[in-house]
Amino acid sequence: MIISLTKKETESRRISPGRLKKAVEAIRRDGYIVIENAVPHEPLDILREKMDQDSKVLIDLEQWGGAGGLKGHLQQGPPPFAPFVFREIVANPLVIQVNTALLGEGIFNSFYNGNTNCPGSGTQPLHRDGPHLWPGHKPAHPTACVVVNISPHDVTEENGAVELWPGTHLHPFPEMVIDEETEEVQRKVAPPVSGCAKKGSVLIRDMRLWHRGVPNRSNRPRHMIALVQCISWYRNRGPLMFNTGCEKAFPADCGLNHNAEFIEEPIDYLLLNPPESKK
């Protein structure tokens, strides 16, 4: 489901009650929602330029990551320091409004990174990003964590829009990687869709939703910033690290526990899996 915000909603940074209800219902039913006009373009342009530069470094080092570790897919997030940290990304009020309505008060950020789909990439294995809290239980429990995806450009089928499998967040299948037999059975029930999104959109999806990266047939990297926001009682594995100087992007009264720690030491955000030194 796609919700395109009105001019009034965009300017007020609040979604109307009726459309908010539809957004929450879509996530609970289908496992995802795309909200258009949620992020201003200026910070996205700044991030795209920087992330394009970072992609070149990772590609040269062949630092392939993500599900399957396939060539062409990078585990790549935006820099965790100024001037590349923006409130509209890390604490978007529209995203907080939707996720609070979905998960309740006290939601917190547990992840800040992303992925990049490069030209010539392959097809990832079908997988989910998070497990069921009670695997195999019927019915499946309500949403506890969501992935928030923001791209600094249009996401299309040509440049590798993520493949989404509606409703599979409620499938009791316990494994993180989906086998071919289970995939084909589900395809007959509800086939996948492409997570296409215009620049400025936000894709919110249940962490259990089946999905995968598909080939990027364009000539430029397709970036996807990713945050994970969780229900208040979910396990917190520790704070997210940011450099000092970007604290203003994390307002104290926004309804979100940023779970952030600000440090002076440089953060090696790019080479999460640095190559072995050559002797």
Instruction: Please tell me the predicted confidence (pLDDT) of residue 279.
Output: 31
The closest alpha carbon to 161, from 211, 94, 219, belongs to 211
Report how far residue 133's alpha carbon sits from residue 140's, in angstroms, rounded to the nearest whole number.
9
Question: Is 268 among the domain residues?
Answer: no
Instruction: Please tell me the predicted confidence (pLDDT) of residue 278.
Output: 35
Question: Is 223 among the domain residues?
Answer: yes
Question: Is 218 among the domain residues?
Answer: yes
Tell me if 66 sits within 8 A of 115, measured CB to CB.
yes
Question: Is 250 among the domain residues?
Answer: no
- What is residue 257's DSSP assignment? B
Q: Which domain holds residue 132?
A: 2-235
CATH code, domain with 43: 2.60.120.620
Number of domains into which the chain is organized: 1
Instruction: Please tell me the predicted confidence (pLDDT) of residue 135.
Output: 85
Report how far residue 75's alpha carbon sits from residue 95's, in angstroms, rounded to the nearest whole number.
23
Tokens of 144: 């506890």
The values of phi and psi at residue 206, to 5°, are -60, 135
Query: Residue 89, class by beta-carbon neighbours within 10 Å (0-12 exposed, 13-18 middle, 19+ buried)?
Result: buried
Q: How far are the Cα atoms of 25, 69, 123, 184, 192 from residue 189, in angstroms, in the given order? A: 20, 29, 22, 9, 10
The values of phi and psi at residue 226, to 5°, are -135, 130
Question: Is 273 among the domain residues?
Answer: no
Query: Residue 11, class by beta-carbon neighbours within 10 Å (0-12 exposed, 13-18 middle, 19+ buried)?
Result: exposed
Q: How far are the Cα atoms of 90, 112, 188, 244 from residue 265, in angstroms, in the given order? A: 21, 18, 52, 9
Report how far residue 106's alpha carbon sits from residue 109's, in angstroms, rounded to the nearest whole number.
10
Contacts 24+ apart (CB under 8 A), 2-5: 2/33, 2/34, 2/35, 2/36, 3/33, 3/34, 3/35, 3/36, 4/36, 4/37, 5/35, 5/36, 5/37, 5/38, 5/94
Tokens of 266: 């440089």
Q: Could you tell me where the beta strands, DSSP code E, fall in the chain?
A: 2-4, 32-36, 73-75, 108-117, 145-150, 163-164, 193-194, 202-206, 211-212, 222-230, 240-243, 260-263
Question: Is 260 among the domain residues?
Answer: no
Chunk the chain into consecutive blocks of 10 residues (it has 279) and report each block's average pLDDT, rounded to whole numbers. Answer: 93 95 97 97 98 96 87 95 98 98 98 96 96 89 97 97 97 92 96 97 98 97 98 96 97 97 94 49
Report how far residue 39's alpha carbon sits from residue 271's, in angstroms, rounded to the nearest whole number.
27
Question: Is 42 among the domain residues?
Answer: yes
